[in-house]
Amino acid sequence: MTATATRVLVLNSGSSSLKYQLLDMHDASRLAVGLVERIGEETSRLVHTPLATGGAKRETEGAMADHDAALKAVAAELAADGLGLDSPQLAAIGHRVVHGGLKFTAPTVIDDAVLTEIERLVPVAPLHNPANITGIRTARALRPDLPQVAVFDTAFHTTMPEYAARYAIDVATADAHRIRRYGFHGTSHAYVSRKTAALLGKDPSEVNVIVLHLGNGASASAVAGGRCVDTSMGLTPLEGLVMGTRSGDIDPAVTFHLKRVAGMSEDEVDELLNKKSGLIGLCGDNDMREIRRRIDEGDDRAKLAFDIYIHRLKKYLGAYTAVLGRVDAVAFTAGVGENAAPVREAAIAGLAEMGMSVDADRNAVRSDEPRLISPEDSRVAVAVVPTDEELEIAQQTYALVSA
């Protein structure tokens, strides 16, 4: 890495998508952001926004057969803005990797052995790790000389005590198949819990925070003095809160019932719980804006879906208050948490005995900045703290390669 190399390319590879951001860590500014969708289909689409040049958003459609073709198209767009991947200013590529198991507790420079280990985790993350691996292979082929760093969604949760991470099932069976609670969205929980401490003017080591990451996927975490002590997602991102399309917590016997009584196959049950449950299963919509609109029109199904979503959130707030013993702050983040004031109001309503309340005027403010929504004298600070997983990945990547 040269002394002037301060740029980091962040790649988030999904099964048929590739999201990217090029950041300059000199001032944490974004130089370009974009997304390739429908990789492998006839009409893949690349949307590229060159923020550094102030240029207009560019959209290209055309077949991109695989991630290799997609990344090459992204590289061409970046080169057209004078931000090519061959630039000596590029310090590293940071990859979002969903599952790091127990082995990866921190961001890691990728070599062949690390890649093999990430592959070994495919059985516990069959939906996510294969796409991440493809992204890594593609980027390594394009710039073999450049440090590539894996930043794991699970890493922040590896500090969970054993009694929080273990399921109460036969230990030998659990260990043989690496079955335990890993948690996800860790990059967001790490970033938001730190930002929340900063909002309170404190060091992360001084505060206990409950983070509610409410996006299409949703998870809660209990963070004590900067360390995660519990989180709502488990072996997979299916456990915990009610989500856009996932059920969250459910009696595992429901799955036996669906197979034995309803005659569904393993894959059908998987699809039902991951893709056709949660808000979409309950009311046919997974976008909170649409659900609120329907509630305003008097739609009972939408109202019930909302109430189930809120009830689950309250249960986790209660549980994590007990786990932490003392709560200094509750932080709402991600698409729903940052934008849906009615969700924040409803989740906190009735929790005054737990020291939590929301000020209606503060809650109505729209802003991209971290902000308090609790009254001045609230025992627990309730906050909206926008997440920024790409910035966190870039920071962790840059810290590692510039150390």
By residue count, the chain amounts to 403
Shortest Å, Cβ 287 to ligand AMP: 4
275 binds ligand AMP per the rule CB under 6 A: no
Binding flag, residue 186, ligand AMP (CB under 6 A): no
Between 139 and 348, name the residue whose CB sits nearer to ligand AMP: 348
Is the CB of residue 193 less than 8 Å from the CB of residue 331?
yes
Identified catalytic residue from 24, 81, 153, 285: 153
Spatial separation of the C-alpha atoms in residues 237 and 248, rounded to whole Å = 8
**Binding of residue 32 to ligand AMP (CB under 6 A):** no
Q: Which residue is nearest to ligand AMP (CB)?
A: 335
Please report how the helices 129-142 and 67-80 are oriented relative to each other, as an axis angle in degrees rounded to 10: 50
Task: Give the separation between CA 309 and CA 278, rounded to whole angstroms.
Answer: 8
Min. distance of Cβ 188 from ligand AMP in angstroms? Answer: 9
153 a catalytic residue: yes
From 14, 101, 186, 215, residue interacting with ligand AMP (rule: CB under 6 A)? 215
Judge whether 81 and 33 are in contact, CB under 8 Å: no
Tokens 């048929």 correspond to: 16
Among 70, 327, 340, 394, binds ligand AMP (CB under 6 A): 340
Q: In terms of CB distance, is 180 or 312 closer to ligand AMP?
A: 312
Stretch in the footprint of ligand AMP (CB under 6 A) among 5-13, 29-37, 168-176, 329-337: 329-337
Does residue 288 touch ligand AMP according to CB under 6 A?
A: yes
C-alpha torsion angle, residues 229, 233, 239, 240 (rounded to 10): 60
Residue 89 binding ligand AMP, by CB under 6 A: no
Query: Which amino acid appears at position 110 of this protein?
Result: I
> Least distance from C-beta 127 to ligand AMP, angstroms?
16
- C-beta closer to ligand AMP: residue 339 or 402: 339
When asked if residue 302 is in the footprint of ligand AMP (CB under 6 A), the reply is no
What's the start-to-end Cα distance of the chain, in Å? Answer: 11
Q: By CB under 6 A, tell whether 287 contacts ligand AMP.
A: yes
Chain residues 234-253 in contact with ligand AMP, contact rule CB under 6 A = 244
Shortest spacing between CB 345 and ligand AMP, in angstroms: 13
Helix (H, G, I), strand (E, B) or coil at 101: coil
Segment near ligand AMP (CB under 6 A); pick from 171-179, 247-255, 332-340, 350-358: 332-340
At 61, give phi and psi (nearest 5°): -120, 145
Which of the stretches 34-42, 107-115, 166-174, 330-338 binds ligand AMP when contact is defined by CB under 6 A?
330-338
Q: Cβ distance 83 to 51 under 8 Å?
A: no
**Binder of ligand AMP out of 16, 216, 274, 402 (CB under 6 A):** 216
- The count of chain residues that interact with ligand AMP, using the rule CB under 6 A, is 12
Q: Which residues contact 45 (CB under 8 A, 6 or more apart)?
A: 36, 37, 38, 59, 60, 61
Tell me how far CA of residue 87 lies from CA of 41, 79, 81, 307, in angstroms: 31, 9, 12, 52
- In the complex with ligand AMP, the residue whose CB is nearer, 255 or 339, is 339
Min separation Cβ 387 and ligand AMP, Å:
8
Nearer Cβ to ligand AMP (33/334): 334
Q: Which is nearer to ligand AMP, 211 or 324 (CB)?
A: 211
| Closest residue by Cα to residue 20 from 10, 31, 8, 6 | 10
- Supply the DSSP string of 107-149, one letter for each residue: -EE--HHHHHHHHHTGGG-TTTHHHHHHHHHHHHHH-TTS-EE
Nearest CB to ligand AMP, comparing residues 127 and 174: 127
- Taking the C-alpha atoms of residue 100 and residue 94, their distance in angstroms, rounded to an integer, is 15
CB of 334 to ligand AMP, least distance (A): 4
Q: Report the interface residues with ligand AMP, using CB under 6 A.
A: 215-216, 244, 286-289, 334-336, 339-340
Q: Annotated active-site positions, please?
A: 153
